[in-house]
Amino acid sequence: MRKLLQHTLPALALAAALVPAGAHAEDFPAKNKTITIVVPYAAGGPTDRVARDLAEALRKPLGDVSVVVDNTAGAGSTIGTARVARATPDGYTLLLNHISMATMPSMYRKLPFSVPNDFEFLGMVNDVPMTLIGRPTLPPNNYKELSAWIAQNKGNITLGHAGLGSASHLCGLLYQSTIKVEMTPVPYKGTAPAMTDLIGGQIDLLCDQTTNTTGQIEAKKVKAYAVTTLKRLQTPALKDLPTLDESGLKNFQVTIWHGLYAPKGTPAGVQKKLNDALKQALKDPEFVKKQEGLGAVIVTDGRVDPAGHKKFVLAEIDKWGAIIKAAGSYAD
């Protein structure tokens, strides 16, 4: 019997190791386990808001399991993103990140992970337009006046952003390169302190996501000048804002998209369950209402599928790589 066990136990262990990971996908998600969505930014910011709304919308299609958000901020989202890249690929640790997935490969010349190779792309969530806003005491009252004011104050304009590689940083880079005017960058550790200083008049301009600016615009705490989409937005608080395209910056367009990711090697069956749940969540009336209220547009095209999501991100890596290289704006 001892000899039989000596031969049988290793064989059983080997057989267990050879069982495809996807063979257990039917058990996912387990009722007693929590799915964690890692947000690589501070709590209270625009991406955090999207993640918390999405976590609630995902809960029901995933069988009422607990879905929580964990903020792991720092280093332009690389810390939280690296955490997910190293996580066990079982579907219980996910990443929600924005356009940073396309800019990190150029912004950081050394990364502890590869965006194309170390993640499973689960699908896109939304597109978030940007708004160009100013301190409440800024003299211009519309974009035409702002354009003239910028021309008259070259060298004395401060442009805030939420840190290297942030959405506001990227929008600011593209805006400056388009109008060919350099402004003094003022980096902050997150969107909230940048907005606080803009409202307080410590900086002149900020280009940030509608998820973070709509409320401030509606409350008239800041001056709003334009949106970064090719068409005007329908959100009540933003519908009267012109686009930068119609204001003379032809084809100027920046949207901050959000996507959901899992560690590389997550079983195909688990990926499918997560993608199916995501598609249901994106149709959840409450989630749609919350996103529309913030000016975000739910993704309904092919980017909601994993293949379309990855194809889009790879194209964005190429696009932003050229802009970042031209600006020479590196984070390391």
Contact 207, 132 (CB under 8 A): yes
pLDDT of residue 85: 98
232-284 pLDDT, tens digit each: 988 888 999 999 999 999 999 898 899 999 999 999 999 999 999 999 999 99
pLDDT of residue 25: 77
pLDDT of residue 24: 62
Share of the chain above pLDDT 90, in %: 73
**pLDDT exceeds cutoff 90 at 14:** no
86-99 pLDDT, tens digit each: 999 999 999 999 99
Give me the mean pLDDT over the 24-49 stretch.
Answer: 90
170-223 pLDDT, tens digit each: 899 999 989 999 999 999 988 889 999 999 999 999 999 888 899 999 999 999
pLDDT of residue 26: 81
pLDDT of residue 192: 87
pLDDT of residue 328: 81
Residue 312 tokens read as 């889009």
pLDDT of residue 243: 97
More confident residue, 315 or 324: 315
282-291 pLDDT, tens digit each: 999 999 999 8
pLDDT of residue 235: 84
**pLDDT exceeds cutoff 80 at 294:** no
**pLDDT exceeds cutoff 60 at 100:** yes
How sure is the predictor about 22, in pLDDT bands with cuts at 50, 70 and 90? very low
pLDDT of residue 131: 96
Residue 188 tokens read as 């902050």
How sure is the predictor about 318, in pLDDT bands with cuts at 50, 70 and 90? very high
